[in-house]
Structure formats: C-alpha cells, structure tokens
Amino acid sequence: KQEVTQIPAALSVPEGENLVLNCSFTDSAIYNLQWFRQDPGKGLTSLLLIQSSQREQTSGRLNASLDKSSGRSTLYIAASQPGDSATYLCAVGLDDYKLSFGAGTTVTVRA
C-alpha cells in the first residue's frame, strides 16, 4: 500500500524567504505526482503535476521535482508572500484514477 508522508506538518517563515516542502512515498511505481493548495474551508487547487517520466515541473514561482528512485518530491516556492499561506498537499497517482494523499504541510508566511 502506498504511503505518502509530508514533513513538517506546519511551517512558518518571514515574507520573502524561499519555501521548501517535502513529500515522500513508499512505492516508486507511480503514475504521476500532483501538488495541491488548500485554503481554509475550501477545496483543493491543482498547482503542478509531474508525470512519471519527468523530473520536474515549473509554474511561475513554483518548482516541483520528482525523484522516483528515492521516493521523494519537493515543492519550492520562491520569494514567499503572505498570500502563499495555505495547506499544501502532495498526492501520488496510483493508476488512471486513484490518488494517495499526504496529510499536508500548513504554511504561514509572516508579513
């Protein structure tokens, strides 16, 4: 069974600092890996998706890397802003349909 772990559970940084969020998974046979953002009381917003054959994806200030052999993905957010405060969830694609989610990292960016 695929286990997805996100450490730390919470992170607080001053504005302008770069954020590094970690995701680890136990089975390297993945379909893809997705990063989501969730604001309090809201649904999930897709940030980045890395296909199994890819090593990284970038969108604006966000960059996500994938190392299947070591079972790790990292989400980098450059020059953090207070608006980046949210919970970030990592999800491993198991097949055409199913995702296995981590518990998330709650980020607070202090102005």
Partner 1 sequence: DVKVTQSSRYLVKRTGEKVFLECVQDMDHENMFWYRQDPGLGLRLIYFSYDVKMKEKGDIPEGYSVSREKKERFSLILESASTNQTSMYLCASSFYRSDNQPQHFGDGTRLSIL
Q: What is the DSSP string of 80-99?
A: --GGG-EEEEEEEE-SSS-E
Interface mask (CB under 8 A) for partner 1, residues 77-96, using x and -? ------------x-x-x--x
Q: Which of 49, 56, 74, 85 binds partner 1 (CB under 8 A)?
A: 49
Closer Cβ to partner 1, 13 or 44, answer by number: 44
Structure tokens, 100: 């296995």
Closest CA to 7 of 76, 104, 110, 108: 104
Q: What backbone phi and psi angles, to 5 degrees, belong to 83?
A: -65, -10
Dihedral sign, CA of 8, 13, 77, 97? positive
Q: Does 41 bind partner 1 (CB under 8 A)?
A: yes
Least distance from partner 1 to the Cβ atom of residue 18, Å: 24
Verify binding: residue 76, partner 1, rule CB under 8 A: no
Give least dist CB 108 to partner 1, A.
18
